[in-house]
A and B are shown apart, each in its own frame.
Chain A
Amino acid sequence: METIIEVRDLTKIFMARRVKITAVDHVSFEIYKGEIFGMIGPNGAGKSTIFAMLTTLVRPTGGSIKVAGLDVNRNAEKIREIIGVVPQQHSLYPDLTARENLELMGNLYDVPKKIMEERIKYYLGLVNLKTHADRLTGGFSGGMKQRLSVISAVIHDPEIIFWDEPTTGLDPQTRQAIWKLALKFNKEGKTLIFTTHYMDEADKLCNRVAIMNAGKLMALDNPDSLKKASNSTSLEEVFIHLTGEEIRD
């Protein structure tokens, strides 16, 4: 299998009010081209921080990251052209309409106007937002915002897609719609990397799952092998087994 993302010895230390926080602690792994790669772990495990570094938003304290053969420190802008990101927090312009939000993204990625209009029409239909295209997104429900966020990250047809908790707080219908999108992108040969707190979701969608805890990578394999290795019947059991039972802050 062809490696598309290569992470070596990745470390991130935050300084928050003179306190050192090791958010990511010497993590190494690969992501293969065309797979659905899941990342799970308790709150504060470092998932979003890894995402921020993979998507060139945050500079690593140590280690190296190569995305499609490009180094994140040296080729950030080139990497940004081939990735699409849905951050953990909604990040739509509340005072722009759904269409304007999508057009802004398309323009920033230099998508030709005609192709962009076609894609916008197609994706709005796909996530059932066609009738709301010209409403300001400030008045959207959580689910509508999430569906819009998801498609605004693919308007430039990226090779690699990052979704940080795409289904948190959504109703079953919206979750299923998002799963469908995930499978569709997978079929098109795109690499999809996402985080989730729903074990069934990881189990169902992912080719491979990475389990993080307190900045460290605890395990990485396909869901079935993970279950077998720890004699568990569900991914949830594996998760608790590897990350313990106490609640994190």
Chain B
Amino acid sequence: MKMNLKTELRKSWIIMIKEFRQIIRKKAFMIPMFMFPIIMIIFFGYGMGGTVKNADILIVNDDTGTASGSIIREIGSFIPRYGDPRMFSVTYTKDLSQNEAERKIDAGLYKAVLIIPSDYSERVAKNESVTLTLLTDSSDTTSSGLIINFMRQLFSGTTGSHVLLKIPDIYGKLQYIDFLTPAVIALTVFFGTIQTMGYAIAGERQDGTLVRIMMTPVSRGAIILGKTLHQLVLQLARAVVLILAAIVLFGVTMNGSWLLVALVLIIFTFGAVGLGMAISAVSEDMLSFQAISMLVAFPSMFATGVFYPLSSAPDWMRWIAYIVPLTYANDAMRTIMIKGQGLGSIAHDLIILIFFGIFYFALGVYLFRREA
């Protein structure tokens, strides 16, 4: 480390340019790398987020009059598309508090509970506004999104009085694809970084070229920095392409700031680079690298709430999720992209990601140096 900073940076730059040259020539690597997330969004987004069939709905009808009857009939017989089965399978009850209703949703008995107040008919008759409460299982974004949409349409069609729908704990019209996309981007960056890092270190060691550049007057630090810069640029470019593709192809919402997205991804990529480096250092060749990285990456794909909200995962899986950085990146990405929130709302995620980033990066650098 007796070299000055300028030299270090120049050498890192040389390494970074070299990495880009190599990766751009790897068409068989680059094309799938960009296609993978798009395919994932298509298959999971449309495969899993389609229509809802026979969703169990509980209607708590406390109405003392008869005006609610028509709504109830309409819900019960709704058929979303020609030939499809009925959308809802409706159960009726009376005198159930909101708390009790929530517990039924928690237990997974119903996808939604609609509570009709006792003064419903009375108010409708007097042309006064009336508020209905709709509780949905927001952990199932597919169903809850469709149910909310449906109910909104139904009540906006009611003539005369204002029927207000109160929907606790829901962020508007959330569709599965909106829910999926931010996390797929984080996941893609995570997988992509680890993969390319493996190619850049384990692969280069297998080729004997790593030893070769270590014999030149380039510090280990400059090699690491060069490879890290390459990853940051590559992954950010990839994320931008993906978000644009998701907006154009699937009409995904991007409510938040691009800068914040970049910030989250930069911090997250740092950690992933470190992890990739650590895995490279402990694996003998590309094949064992692939095996180990699959072992690390695959569970994080399912345990971190990419495909479904963490709240619906079993306890033991949630515990795994807490120690996997992807969980926090997913949360931060969703908070920015869907809810359009600012720095304040993702601060806790960022702090944890920075902590993970430092930890994995330090571990990666340590293992990489020790090996040399």
Contacts and interface: CB of A to CB of B under 8 A. Distances in A.
A115 interface: no
Contacts of A83: 215
Contact of A109 (B3, B21, B208, B217): B217
Interface in A93-140: 93-96, 100, 104-105, 107-110, 136
B3 A96 contact: no
Interface residues of B, number: 23
Interface stretch (A16-24, A84-92, A176-184): A84-92
B209 interface: yes
Interface in B10-57: 11, 14, 18, 21-22, 25-26
Contact of A91 (B18, B21, B207): B207
A105 B11 CA distance: 11
Interface in A43-85: 55-57, 77-78, 80-81, 83, 85
A130 B18 CA distance: 22
Contacts of A100: 21
Interface in B333-372: 372
- Residue of B2, B26, B208, B214 most packed against chain A (CB within 10 A): B208
B216 A108 contact: yes
Given A95-B25, A96-B22, A108-B217, A57 B207 contact: no
A136 B333 CA distance: 40
Nearest to B15: A108
B219 interface: yes
A100 B372 CA distance: 25
Contacts of B372: 57
A85 B211 CA distance: 11
A87 B212 CA distance: 8
Contact of B2 (A77, A92, A109): A77
**B contact patch SS:** helix
B217 A80 contact: yes
A70 B207 CA distance: 30
Interface string B210-243: 0111111111000000000000000000000000
Interface in B269-303: none
B14 A77 contact: no
A110 B217 CA distance: 9
Given A77-B2, A105-B216, A108-B216, A91 B208 contact: yes
A80 B216 contact: yes
Contact of B209 (A56, A81, A91): A91
A125 B305 CA distance: 59
B208 A77 contact: no
A229 to B, nearest CB: 35
A104 B207 CA distance: 16
Contacts of B211: 57, 87, 91
- Residue of B14, B18, B215, B218 most packed against chain A (CB within 10 A): B215
B219 to A, nearest CB: 7
Contact of B14 (A89, A94, A107): A107
B14 A57 contact: no
A77 B209 contact: no
B208 A87 contact: yes
B22 A93 contact: yes
Contacts of B207: 91, 93-94
A206 B284 CA distance: 37
A92 B207 CA distance: 8
Given A77-B2, A100-B21, A85 B215 contact: yes
A77 B223 CA distance: 14
Contacts of A90: 208
A101 B299 CA distance: 39
Contacts of B2: 77
B215 A93 contact: no
A165 to B, nearest CB: 13
B214 A57 contact: yes
Contacts of A56: 215
A136 to B, nearest CB: 8
A90 B211 CA distance: 11
B217 A92 contact: no
B209 A93 contact: yes
A87 B208 CA distance: 9
Contacts of B218: 108
Given A77-B2, A77-B3, A87-B208, A96 B215 contact: no
Contacts of B208: 87, 89-91
A77 B214 contact: no
B11 A108 contact: yes
Contacts of B21: 95-96, 100
Contacts of A87: 208, 211-212, 215
Nearest to A83: B215
A101 to B, nearest CB: 9
Given A92-B209, A96-B22, A77 B217 contact: yes
- Top 3 nearest A-B pairs (CB, nearest first) are A91-B208, A91-B212, A108-B216
Interface of A: 55-57, 77-78, 80-81, 83, 85, 87, 89-96, 100, 104-105, 107-110, 136
29 contacts: A55-B215, A56-B215, A57-B211, A57-B372, A77-B219, A81-B217, A83-B215, A85-B212, A87-B208, A89-B208, A90-B208, A91-B212, A92-B209, A92-B212, A93-B207, A93-B209, A94-B207, A95-B25, A95-B26, A100-B21, A107-B14, A108-B14, A108-B213, A108-B218, A109-B216, A109-B217, A110-B7, A110-B217, A136-B25
Given A80-B215, A108-B213, A108-B218, 8 more contacts: A57-B214, A90-B208, A91-B207, A93-B22, A95-B21, A104-B14, A108-B217, A109-B217
